[in-house]
Structure 1
């Protein structure tokens, strides 16, 4: 190290703290990427898993699992909700949700009927009527779509007729709108070739997929390396200038 000057204690401390912080953040991003990839694998495997008793998972579902369940009850056919323009295709469309009432239970179960493609004219697709009689449904008990900031506040409260449109499907807003509590998760129905709905359910990590976590991890590790390089550059001995 004859080509470098001894750094001051505060420069060494600042560099070590910064490098360790950046490395810790990079490792955290890698852990998040691994966690989300594991969730995606469990989600894919859940589509063929054995049925579970809905009563055992209804109120306290496992945090890292997606049970397959069967429920019986009836739709509230006049209370449909449309998640406006989810990213399924380039023509637009809506994800359709319907509240489902189980016999003898106060909470309502929000059912994801699937995606209904648009025709490119900006108008909501035509909805088919739901059965008004008792029916048995089956699918995966999954978390609701992620909720973000909605300009203007609760869009559902400003609408007086169903189906109601929103760019976010907030269970708390839907519960207030219906005047009934909701189960903490919703039912994503199994695919049905005879249905008009496209049912290709997956976890929504579009804003932060595992690959982006790994990109951020590389960025944090680069910052750690840059902190060390900066310390070395600032304390490199300079050759004396010729007189």
Structure 2
């Protein structure tokens, strides 16, 4: 190619390494997008599945699927936790959790009752009383909401009155607060039109949905193409100036 000067080995290696790195990152982003879409599909399928016995699922939780379960037992009275304003910033409010004692079980199950919208003030929303006596609950047995760094440490230990409020729900902290052992996942109750709680349970990928992974993949692939284009532009032969015959 007469229009191209021969690049150095260093330039070729640098360009190849950069392009391969960008392509690898793009492929990884596509892989993450497909993974998350598959998780969302499994979650949607579980919501429509027939409920299974909780004790059997808890003994051997499915690794690559979500389980819809049915469990009998009683709520622990007067023990409620408010996850402050998670995923509903435009409305205020809190996700409400209650400990539940399954029948013939030696540990407690934390139940996600649903989201309770705020009342326009800084005060926690008014909570309806928990049902008493034997209950039959149905819902998805899912991992607890994600946690992060909580400024000031364990907020539950500093509160003496119920309900207790936290910005991160950590099961070990809740277990210590209750003085009991908890199951490692939570029960997200099925939607109920008669309930005051809003139950729109899903896997929260709002910060990084599959579409955003694909957008990042496109960027990385664009960088790979740009690396090759830069190499070609930098090694393009400049047209020679005509000789001045005057």
TM-score range, shorter chain: over 0.9
Displacement of 1:110 after TM fit?
Answer: 0.9
Displacement of 1:111 after TM fit?
Answer: 0.3
Could you say which residue in structure 2 is the equivalent of 1:131?
131
Could you say which residue in structure 1 is the equivalent of 2:48?
48
Question: Partners in 1 of 2:60 and 2:155 — Cα distance?
Answer: 29
Displacement of 1:241 after TM fit?
Answer: 4.8
Question: Partners in 1 of 2:210 and 2:135 — Cα distance?
Answer: 38
SS at match of 1:180: coil
Could you say which residue in structure 2 is the equivalent of 1:186?
186
Does the 8 A contact of 2:57 with 2:69 survive in 1?
no
Quick check: which has more Rg, 1 or 2?
2
Unaligned runs of 5+ in 2: none
Per the alignment, do residues 181 and 230 of structure 1 end up closer, same or farther by CA in structure 2, a change over 3 Å counting?
farther
Could you say which residue in structure 2 is the equivalent of 1:174?
174
Does the 8 A contact of 2:51 with 2:138 survive in 1?
no
Matches within 5 A, 1:51-200: 51-88=51-88, 90-200=90-200
Displacement of 1:154 after TM fit?
Answer: 1.9
Question: Partners in 1 of 2:232 and 2:181 — Cα distance?
Answer: 61
Question: Partners in 2 of 1:233 and 1:14 — Cα distance?
Answer: 15
SS at match of 1:120: coil
Q: In angstroms, what is the RMSD of aligned CA positions?
A: 1.7
Displacement of 1:221 after TM fit?
Answer: 0.9
Per the alignment, do residues 56 and 10 of structure 1 end up closer, same or farther by CA in structure 2, a change over 3 Å counting?
farther
Does the 8 A contact of 2:112 with 2:189 survive in 1?
yes
Provide the TM-score with structure 2 as the length reference.
0.92
Unaligned runs of 5+ in 1: none
Does the 8 A contact of 1:106 with 1:180 survive in 2?
no
Provide the TM-score with structure 1 as the length reference.
0.93
- Count of paired positions: 243
